[in-house]
Structure 1
Amino acid sequence: MSDSTSLTNSVIRSIGRTKSLDASANTVSGWVDAVTHPTWIKNALSGSWLGHQLHPVLTDLPIGAWGAAVALDLTGGEQSADAARRLVGLGIIVSAPAAVSGASDWSSTRGADKRVGFVHALMNASASTLQAGSWLARRSGHRRVGIVLSALGLGFTLSSAYLGGHLSFVRGIGVNRTAFQRQKSSWTDVASDSEILDGTLTRVVVDGVPVLLTRQAGRLRAISAVCTHAGGPLDEGTVDADGCVTCPWHGSRFRLEDGGIERGPASVPEPIWAVSVDDGRILLRSPDAG
Structure 2
Amino acid sequence: MRLPLNGSRAGSSVPALPDRVTDALERATWLDEPADGVRRVTGALRAAPVADVLSGRVAGHPLHPVLVTVPIGTLVGAAALSFVRAPWAAPAARWLTGLGVLSVAPTAITGWSDWNDTEGAERRVGLVHAGVNVLAVGAATAAWAARSDTGRRTWLTATVGVLGVGGWLGGHLAYALGVGVDTTAFTALPDDWTDAGPLATLTDGEPQGRDAGGLPVMLLRHAGRLTAVLDRCTHRGAPLHEGRLVDGCIECPWHASLFALDPAAGGRVERGPATRPAPVLQVREHQGRVQVRADDVRALRENPV
Name the TM-score, length of structure 2 as normaliser. Answer: 0.86
Q: Tell me the residue number matched to 2:226.
A: 220
1:188 aligns with 2:194: yes
Instruction: Give per-residue Cα distances to partners, 1:15-51, cap 9 Å, x unaligned.
Output: 222222222211211222223221x211211111111
**Unmatched runs of 5 consecutive residues or more in structure 1:** none
1:116 aligns with 2:121: no
Question: What is the CA distance between 1:244 and its match in structure 2?
Answer: 1.9
Evaluate the alpha carbon distance shift between residue 69 and residue 208 of structure 1 in structure 2; reply closer, same or farther with a 3 A threshold. same
Measure the CA separation in 1 of the matches of 2:79 and 2:112. 27
Question: What is the CA distance between 1:55 and its match in structure 2?
Answer: 0.8
1:75 aligns with 2:53: no
1:159 aligns with 2:165: yes
Q: Tell me the residue number matched to 1:86.
A: 95
Instruction: Give per-residue Cα distances to partners, 1:145-195, cap 9 Å, x unaligned.
Output: 122111111211110111111111111111111112223333223232221
Which has the higher mean CA deviation after the structures are superposed, 4-13 or 165-174? 4-13
Q: Is the 8 A contact 1:69 1:85 kept in 2?
A: yes
1:199 aligns with 2:205: yes
Q: Percent identity?
A: 39
Q: Is the 8 A contact 1:275 1:283 kept in 2?
A: yes
Q: Tell me the residue number matched to 2:250.
A: 245
Question: What is the CA distance between 1:208 and its match in structure 2?
Answer: 3.1
Measure the CA separation in 2 of the matches of 1:93 and 1:287. 45
Q: Is the 8 A contact 2:195 2:290 kept in 1?
A: yes
- 1:231 equivalent among 232, 237, 240: 237
Q: Give secondary structure in 2 for the equivalent of 1:205.
A: strand
The alignment yields a C-alpha RMSD, in angstroms, of 2.2
Q: Give secondary structure in 1 for the equivalent of 2:68.
A: helix
Evaluate the alpha carbon distance shift between residue 66 and residue 241 of structure 1 in structure 2; reply closer, same or farther with a 3 A threshold. closer
Question: What is the CA distance between 1:87 and its match in structure 2?
Answer: 0.9
Report matched runs for 1:119-130 at 5 Å.
119-130=128-139
Measure the CA separation in 2 of the matches of 1:127 and 1:78. 27
Question: What is the CA distance between 1:8 and its match in structure 2?
Answer: 2.2
Q: Tell me the residue number matched to 1:284.
A: 292
Name the TM-score, length of structure 1 as normaliser. Answer: 0.90
Q: Is the 8 A contact 1:251 1:264 kept in 2?
A: yes
- 2:20 equivalent among 7, 10, 28: 10
1:29 aligns with 2:39: yes
**Unmatched runs of 5 consecutive residues or more in structure 2:** 1-8, 298-305
- 2:144 equivalent among 135, 145, 148: 135
Q: Is the 8 A contact 1:216 1:243 kept in 2?
A: no
Q: Tell me the residue number matched to 2:273.
A: 265
Alignment size in residue pairs = 284
Evaluate the alpha carbon distance shift between residue 213 and residue 84 of structure 1 in structure 2; reply closer, same or farther with a 3 A threshold. same
Q: Structure 2 counterpart of 1:243, which letter?
A: G
Measure the CA separation in 1 of the matches of 2:296 and 2:135. 49
Larger helix proportion, structure 1 or 2? 1
Measure the CA separation in 2 of the matches of 1:63 and 1:44. 22
